[in-house]
Amino acid sequence: MTESADILVLNTGSSSVKFAVFDAHLQERLSGVAEGIGGIGQLCIGKESEALELPDHGQALSAVLKRLTDAGCGPDNLCAVAHRVVHGGIELTTPTRITPDVRAKIESCVPLAPLHNPHALAAIDALDQLAPDLAQYASFDTAFHATAPEVASRYALPPEAEALGLRRYGFHGLSYAALCRRLPEISARALPQRLLAFHLGNGASICAIKDGQSVATTMGYSPLEGLTMGTRVGTLDPNATLRLVEEIGLAETKTLLNNRSGLAGLSGGLSDMRALEEAGTAAAQFAIDHFCYWAIRHGHSLIGAMGGCNAIAFTGGIGENARSIRARILDGFAWLGCTIDADLNAENTACLTRPQSTPMAWIVPAEEERQIAMDARALIEACP
């Protein structure tokens, strides 16, 4: 790979395409987002923004490539495009170059991720038309959890249900992979043998990482399971879901559990942690209490899956910035010997605990886009 061979990373959603360009040294050159796809949207690169007609993902990507070309980062300056793909199922468990066979496997996972994989496929197909000579790669959010033992991944369902793909896949894998790479650099220590990792944002999960591999995580068949989240309910008794379907119907139940529950459902509509902390209402405070309680409770479950805990790490928007939330969660692990340093926590320093604390606790900035670029570069260098 030459010095000027950049990698374009794409994270494609239902109405947006987030993008970042990384150089040969994995330094971000620029980033932005095309949003409002499906109508009059806008394309933002850095601090610049312009309104554009963005009827579909193809038009959005065409506009992105044109602006990147103007900035000297267009297809002629790229060696690859690397995509975040949410679901790889049980077959796509490592980063890979996208071939017709790989594309077909991504499409076969659409029933497992109907809100995510179709948009990644739309971007892949659009780029095949817009830049047919440009190699495309994919990294999968589920892949990091493929190392979890079968006893952690299987639901207690008979084989005919398992055959439908009903198993725990886990998500936020790219975030956890980046965390495992970055924590030794930040701490100047080897990666802890038993690491309890919190990815806390609008979507939230915890991962038990033993010897650098996922052995258990809170999200399951879908990103709906596990912690209390911004708008997602988290773990819910299946019979409660069935009751909702009986009362309000399937479509309304999906909307309720995914978009109107979690922090928003408990607080009366507030899903942002900063807004909740500022609200000062009893409902907002209860939502915060709920979030912290279940983070602590699920975290202890994962410590059991690892057989201990040598360190705790936080990443994601809440994990990196919400001081009081981190403090409350870490207080739940004080019995282990985890002693938070209030001054360090208040300053958002990398290390959050006193030197004698065991386990120690850390902040690790999220680097999912760089992780995707790194995955693609490794594949390119392995097959020059």
Catalytic residue, candidates 70, 133, 141, 375:
141
In angstroms, the CA 273 to CA 227 distance is 14
- 51 dihedral zone (left: phi>0; alpha: psi -120 to 50; beta): beta
Parallel, antiparallel or unpaired: strands 39-45 and 78-85: unpaired
In angstroms, the CA 112 to CA 123 distance is 19
CB within 8 Å of 22: residues ≥ 6 apart: 6, 7, 9, 28, 29, 369, 370, 373
Contact 270, 290 (CB under 8 A): no
331 catalytic? Reply is no
Q: Where are the alpha helices (DSSP H) in the chain?
A: 57-70, 100-108, 117-130, 150-153, 159-162, 173-187, 238-248, 250-259, 262-267, 273-279, 282-306, 316-321, 323-331, 342-346, 368-382
Contact 359, 192 (CB under 8 A): yes
Nearest to 147 by CA among 81, 77, 209, 235: 209
Neighbour count for residue 27 (Cβ, 10 Å):
10
Q: List the catalytic residues.
A: 141
